[in-house]
Structure 1
């Protein structure tokens, strides 16, 4: 109870109104930055008082909002294992304030007082709330926060912070996907069920005093309490139960107008042995390794005839061989109506409809790749529902069900949709226009260079000499980085060569080198040297790269980058590229004004190189489309 409040890197960034990369940079560059007091190497925690003192000492403005003060005090009250219970207790108190309209300036100040008067106000929660978990001082802060933002907004803030703190253990559906599923499956007013509701992300968009009944079940008791509180604060007519929906269905009698679900993926221990003869498996017994197909059938079993189901699925579920029988049965019955890829690698969205008795099954199913644009999904689904035979929008196709019922029943959208530019009849004209535009711009991109009457040898200095003179500092990237799943972007050698944005990811480590705007990054060990000036800081220096940080008052970064492209004289006599010493590279000695002139021209040459690369890629695409179109009859020569 008496520990200092703690913050993670995201909290510090929010406190100081900067990006997370800036916090990482502070840790690396400032020896006096507070040391972690807890957490893990990938997600360290810092003392709030120490961070505040450091920000003051270094003249960095910050503002700790009332919401953040409540959260930090809450988080300091116990370890992370019990943090969810503390958030649930705080939510129950906010619900008590909401239901009893107790004056925020006179809240109950002891757990005993609160337990006595709040039992009736919160007695319908799905689990008993341990009111004595909270530090009594928090009740007044919570009441102040409720007065400032309203109880519902106050609790949503705490739930967001809780989900952020437990992002690796707690899966929360992205808000835009949650809203999409609600719009697609649950028009205003019906009964909506989520059998794996988590902390309520899918139920909240449609919750409100004017909606129908909202029903949820969640295996984690703490998450069930959080969902119940959030829905109650939103004014919904809600029933939420803690329990395993597959093994212990709490609502066997419910037939909802709409079912939405983001089930746990790849959960092998889902109850295969106990549920072998379950009547919910109307379309086939789900194989042990296909738990998502168990969830699909559970959702369909709880939909009324004609009711809609929207389920997020792993991309592999559309094509894994053990699930082909169930996929085929769903298609034959007309239950599966659409499979939509929402982003590369998943998740996919399956839209289903429980068939009505005696109705004729549909003949087509919608296949779509939203290409990370979820706003395109709803218009495509509405248009398909209105007329399945109408031409679908780009990235979508109405597939005949009979054509999908082969030996694999692979419903992966990418398998049935043409890739962009693959139809030469559609792509050739557009590719030709882009190529012409790119080619026409090339002459204007060539920098103006003069041929002097007499050539001269420019005096030079090695990078090591520039370092000793204080003009440059040199850093080398690490031999390798941790797994590609961290919070920081990484500039790779491939990114540097192509001029593209940082594509790697790595978790934070104190030894990482964070790039700053104006740095020069070079790759001098490959067959073709590459060097560029960094225009936006925050990324991590990747393996096989060198960073040159210049004194901008004495050296031009663009000039240095251009000189580093000409690394030939520093290579070994054999011409190999594996033993290049970054400090032996030679740079001409020029005045700062001359450097800037050279630097501008070097930048123009680099831009020309990038345009040539882009134009060549467009030309290759144009040639391929031309050959393909002529060969398959989709294009013909003009007379």
Structure 2
């Protein structure tokens, strides 16, 4: 059967085979039948891909690359060779392929090149109306390798996996493009802030469709999106059609402020994470636009233009939830518009998020909740302000839910305590909406401020300033008791940390480090020493061992963030939608699928984890206890050098589980290593708990002293005055 091929580097051969670069070099020297270079240079040769695959198969080396990695590689090679298929055509092909049976997809991969191209062209053309501004679909035989890999990826991993790889080729989540994906926990929070069950929802800066997907999971059935970048609009349309087949999806590609694609649309709700700090948003040509019912936004206030755009698209009483930078709440140039939003009752709440909740990661963003005023509706006398920054920052929370601490430089979304942030924000918002006049709030966290009190010379709507003004309401006796209890817990945690740090279960290896004979996880899986399980996205056709038909009864989903911060499973089963997720058992080894950040990369599932569902960004290794010790396996799989060697990508490093390497040791020796790794895990857990308790104790003490509830000790001051304590 004739098939088109491509050229690959030695590094790509190592990834395909699941071996090191050094192994590929040895093959070239030792095996005369190893394929000769077909291009490149002497220092950087290229090899024919199909010849390499044939040679590897003759040696019993099955490909260690996942279908999505195969697709990623073929796309890069296609770009080098100048394949003619349009990006829109490949997006359409993903959508069409997702509706095919696994047998149909397998049959397509086996077609000769010319037949495959014609088949793919018909498939993509059948859904051509789904993607905004798509060019006519056109493939040729140079695209056959990509088409074959795409069909295989959709068959084995689902349409979303293939869609994500395609989007990488056109759009990098970076400052260069200015486009960023809203983190899933944040998207879920924004969707849950909308009261009731809206049916018709608009996102005028929809990006990849994350916010619309979140609100669709809550029952919305008419989804409207618009985005300036055509690739984002196309990606959003296909993604939503894949994940929400029962919803009506309409996405357009254009600038919402300058060229509103839905001028007559009145939605039940608007969700939006608009671009920030844009000067050229159309201030001059839109000066007399009817959307500016609350005042013409200043040139520096593009965010307030988006706010009014959202309000203009709401039915009376409809709700808008916007993610905005903190400067929007206090810049002098926006004072008049803010004042009118408050005076009219359109602004209902401002919720401050911790740094790291979303890009830009070093800034604590804010959520604005707005409602379009109803003629003759209730008078709105107050606005809710919530500050979740203390709750959600690294180190917040105690016990199992504490995060590990801030990463170097900027905070990261993975370190945010999303369960705590969500509980604070939703709890305050729901209590406020039930009875605004009787809302008591929580000192230092949530406070309802009267409209009259907000309409001063600056109209500063910063939550931290407004909720801290209410700290004097705290009962001194209650705060003192809370400080004492937290301090006692800190002392206990410090003693436990001392014991963990004092444990010695290792010795020096001698004059040189020990060398290992290793095998890849793929090799061990083929030999039956372990099983590698994963969560299969909705639409993927393959079966997953360990999945459960009763997975909806599981109490939570274990996420990569849970592993990094050492928490119990915190994910929401609703996030999995139709995904097939294995149920975790005690003794399973769990490894984060995305490298980077602080905290552990791997851990062994305990009784708390058992019964939870495996999250989509976690790899599960189920070892045979007669051949592999679980803690030994977790220690080596999560090692820094091992993770680095098995990771691919530039902006995001994705761990290829089959490429992780494990030393080949007798079981008794494995157990000795496993016990040492168990102590390392305990040390990390005790350090995390002690750090969280120290931060909480310091926060309570500082707040009590500055708020007037706690008084410094006179005896301690007298001792310092007599020179009893060093000032340092």
TM over 0.5: yes
For residues 626 and 218 of structure 1, the distance between their equivalents in structure 2, rounded to whole angstroms, comes to 49
For residues 47 and 287 of structure 1, the distance between their equivalents in structure 2, rounded to whole angstroms, comes to 58
- Aligned-pair CA distance for 1:312: 0.6
Q: What is the match of residue 404 of structure 1? A: 454
Does 1:158 find its partner at 2:202?
no
Q: What is the match of residue 351 of structure 2? A: 340
- Aligned-pair CA distance for 1:341: 1.3
- Aligned-pair CA distance for 1:63: 3.0
CA contact (8 A) 2:705 2:711 kept: no
Deviations, residues 158-215 of structure 1 (Å, cap 9, x unaligned): 3675699544433111111122222322754511101111121111223479742111
- Aligned-pair CA distance for 1:440: 7.8
Does 1:363 find its partner at 2:385?
no
Distance 1:393 1:131, change over 3 A: farther
Deviations, residues 317-352 of structure 1 (Å, cap 9, x unaligned): 111111111111111111111111122322211111
Q: How does 1:216-615 map to 2 (within 5 A)?
A: 216-233=225-242, 234-235=244-245, 236-344=247-355, 345-370=363-388, 371-372=391-392, 373=418, 374-376=421-423, 377-388=425-436, 389-393=438-442, 395-418=445-468, 423=474, 425=476, 426-436=478-488, 438=490
Secondary structure at 1:407 match in 2: coil
Secondary structure at 1:76 match in 2: helix
For residues 217 and 381 of structure 2, the distance between their equivalents in structure 1, rounded to whole angstroms, comes to 37
CA contact (8 A) 1:219 1:244 kept: yes
Secondary structure at 1:185 match in 2: coil
For residues 619 and 47 of structure 1, the distance between their equivalents in structure 2, rounded to whole angstroms, comes to 61
For residues 235 and 104 of structure 2, the distance between their equivalents in structure 1, rounded to whole angstroms, comes to 23
Secondary structure at 2:287 match in 1: coil
For residues 117 and 93 of structure 2, the distance between their equivalents in structure 1, rounded to whole angstroms, comes to 11
Distance 1:273 1:116, change over 3 A: same
- Aligned-pair CA distance for 1:396: 1.6
Q: What is the match of residue 66 of structure 2? A: 65
- Aligned-pair CA distance for 1:292: 0.6
**4+ runs deviating over 6 angstroms:** 5-9, 12-16, 29-33, 46-49, 79-83, 419-422, 440-447, 487-491, 614-617, 630-633
Q: What is the match of residue 78 of structure 1? A: 79
Secondary structure at 2:276 match in 1: coil
Distance 1:289 1:188, change over 3 A: same
Secondary structure at 1:225 match in 2: helix
For residues 697 and 217 of structure 2, the distance between their equivalents in structure 1, rounded to whole angstroms, comes to 52
Deviations, residues 548-569 of structure 1 (Å, cap 9, x unaligned): xxxxxxxxxxxxxxxxxxxxxx
Query: Could you tell me which of 200, 206, 214 is aligned with 2:209?
Result: 200
For residues 616 and 185 of structure 1, the distance between their equivalents in structure 2, rounded to whole angstroms, comes to 33
Distance 1:437 1:418, change over 3 A: same
For residues 444 and 189 of structure 1, the distance between their equivalents in structure 2, rounded to whole angstroms, comes to 50
Q: How does 1:81-160 map to 2 (within 5 A)?
A: 88-98=88-98, 103-107=104-108, 109=115, 111=117, 114-115=120-121, 118-132=124-138, 135-150=143-158, 152-158=159-165
Deviations, residues 496-550 of structure 1 (Å, cap 9, x unaligned): xxxxxxxxxxxxxxxxxxxxxxxxxxxxxxxxxxxxxxx986799xxxxxxxxxx
Secondary structure at 2:213 match in 1: coil
* Greater alpha carbon shift after TM alignment, 137-146 vs 172-181: 137-146
- Aligned-pair CA distance for 1:15: 10
For residues 615 and 154 of structure 1, the distance between their equivalents in structure 2, rounded to whole angstroms, comes to 42
Greater CA radius of gyration, 1 or 2? 1
CA contact (8 A) 1:286 1:294 kept: yes
Aligned length: 470
For residues 490 and 475 of structure 2, the distance between their equivalents in structure 1, rounded to whole angstroms, comes to 20
Distance 1:241 1:65, change over 3 A: same
- Aligned-pair CA distance for 1:303: 0.7
Distance 1:214 1:13, change over 3 A: farther
Q: For CA contacts below 8 A with separation 6 or more, give which structure has more relative contact order.
A: 2
For residues 340 and 11 of structure 2, the distance between their equivalents in structure 1, rounded to whole angstroms, comes to 49
* Greater alpha carbon shift after TM alignment, 119-128 vs 333-342: 119-128
Distance 1:220 1:15, change over 3 A: farther
For residues 15 and 408 of structure 1, the distance between their equivalents in structure 2, rounded to whole angstroms, comes to 64
Distance 1:631 1:272, change over 3 A: same
Gaps in structure 2 of 5+ consecutive residues: 27-45, 109-113, 356-362, 393-417, 500-507, 514-594, 600-637, 645-682, 713-728
Secondary structure at 2:268 match in 1: strand
- Aligned-pair CA distance for 1:427: 3.0
For residues 247 and 158 of structure 1, the distance between their equivalents in structure 2, rounded to whole angstroms, comes to 31
CA contact (8 A) 2:270 2:310 kept: yes
Does 1:629 find its partner at 2:708?
yes
- Aligned-pair CA distance for 1:62: 8.5
- Aligned-pair CA distance for 1:443: 9.2
Distance 1:445 1:343, change over 3 A: closer
For residues 511 and 296 of structure 2, the distance between their equivalents in structure 1, rounded to whole angstroms, comes to 72
For residues 496 and 184 of structure 2, the distance between their equivalents in structure 1, rounded to whole angstroms, comes to 46
Deviations, residues 432-475 of structure 1 (Å, cap 9, x unaligned): 3333555688899999xxxxxxxxxxxxxxxxxx9xx9689xxx
For residues 182 and 233 of structure 2, the distance between their equivalents in structure 1, rounded to whole angstroms, comes to 15
- Aligned-pair CA distance for 1:78: 1.7
- Aligned-pair CA distance for 1:231: 2.1
What is the TM-score of this pair, normalised by structure 2?
0.53
Distance 1:296 1:5, change over 3 A: farther
Deviations, residues 217-241 of structure 1 (Å, cap 9, x unaligned): 1111122111122222331211111
- Aligned-pair CA distance for 1:115: 4.1
For residues 11 and 277 of structure 2, the distance between their equivalents in structure 1, rounded to whole angstroms, comes to 30
CA contact (8 A) 1:319 1:412 kept: yes
Distance 1:442 1:113, change over 3 A: closer
Q: What is the match of residue 566 of structure 1? A: none
Secondary structure at 1:206 match in 2: helix
For residues 116 and 167 of structure 1, the distance between their equivalents in structure 2, rounded to whole angstroms, comes to 35
* Greater alpha carbon shift after TM alignment, 93-102 vs 368-377: 93-102
CA contact (8 A) 1:424 1:628 kept: no
Gaps in structure 1 of 5+ consecutive residues: 17-22, 34-45, 448-465, 473-486, 492-534, 541-603, 634-639
